[in-house]
Amino acid sequence: MKIKDKTFKILISEKELQSKILAISKAINKDYKDKTPLFIGILNGSFMFVADILKNISLQCEISFIKLASYTEMTSSGSVKELLGLNENIFKRDIIILEDIIDSGKTISSVIEEFKLRGAESVEVATLLLKPDALKVEADIKYIGFEISNEFVVGYGLDYDGLGRNTKAIYQLK
Ligand code: IMP
Ligand code: MG
């Protein structure tokens, strides 16, 4: 598959993705029995993962989305992300964050921190992909689809320069 100047080869097939997603949904159904969790998808990359997870969730639940806006602070700390679009009251709620990929872990750990500050009852994360070799901060991730090597991937919601999100499988740089 070609996107702009780069060529990609298949890494995870549609069938592998769907069977892993079903397993994660089943685990969540079991772990949150008798609870009413609030799922929070992180846009844009998670939209397909969120849709496929939720199709297999049998719990009474809510779903919402947030977006992270990057802006550069004039400090040595570098870039800071602002959380946009969270309208639900998350005080005392059981939150399950749905993310496409965890790379350095900085995005997810700042989101977890923010939800805890706002008084969530519990905060857990389900990520489709994790790059263990890229992790820079400690992050406690309860549900992990696939651990992959530290290479750039695209498809099934993930993009290369805004392109390539619209595929049923995940591809890796060739
Ligand atoms: P982190 O804060 O470094 O963990 O970055 C996570 C975010 O970076 C994800 O939500 C993606 O948007 C993006 N990202 C990281 N690795 C990849 C990749 O291989 N392909 C596409 N997007 C990626
Ligand atoms: Mg993302």
Q: Is the dihedral of CA 95, 90, 112, 171 positive or negative?
A: positive
Q: What pLDDT score was predicted for residue 141? A: 96
pLDDT tens column, 141-154: 999 999 999 999 99
From the CA of 101, give the closest atom in ligand 1.
9
**Cα 99 to middle of ligand 2, angstroms:** 6
pLDDT tens column, 90-135: 999 999 999 999 999 998 999 999 999 999 999 999 999 999 999 8
State yes or no: pLDDT of 33 exceeds 60: yes
**Cα 60 to middle of ligand 1, angstroms:** 30
**Rounded mean pLDDT, 7-14:** 98
- Report field, pTM of the whole predicted structure over 0.85: yes
Per-residue confidence at 75, pLDDT binned at 50, 70, 90? Answer: very low
What percent of the chain stands above pLDDT 70? 94
From the CA of 105, give the closest atom in ligand 1.
4
Which of these, 29, 21, 70, 22, lies nearest to 46 by C-alpha position? 21
Per-residue confidence at 70, pLDDT binned at 50, 70, 90? Answer: low
Please say whether the beta carbons of 42 and 68 come within 8 A: yes
Q: Which residues are catalytic?
A: 103
Q: What pLDDT score was predicted for residue 139? A: 85
- 67 C-beta closer than 6 A to ligand 1: no
Q: What pLDDT score was predicted for residue 41? A: 97
Q: What pLDDT score was predicted for residue 82? A: 80
- 123 C-beta closer than 6 A to ligand 1: no
- 94 C-beta closer than 6 A to ligand 1: no
- 153 C-beta closer than 6 A to ligand 1: yes
**Cα 43 to middle of ligand 2, angstroms:** 6
Which of 98, 101, 131 to mutate to test ligand 1, by most ligand atoms within 8 A of the CB atom? 101
Q: Residue 32 has which token pair?
A: 């949150």
Taking CA atoms, 105 is separated from 16, 98, 130, 169, in Å, by 24, 14, 9, 23
What residues does the ion ligand 2 have nearby, CB within 5 Å?
A: 45, 100
**Rounded mean pLDDT, 15-31:** 98
Q: What pLDDT score was predicted for residue 42? A: 96
Q: What pLDDT score was predicted for residue 80? A: 60
Taking CA atoms, 25 is separated from 9, 35, 135, 137, 150, in Å, by 27, 14, 25, 26, 26
Q: To the nearest whole number, what is the mean pLDDT of the chain?
A: 92
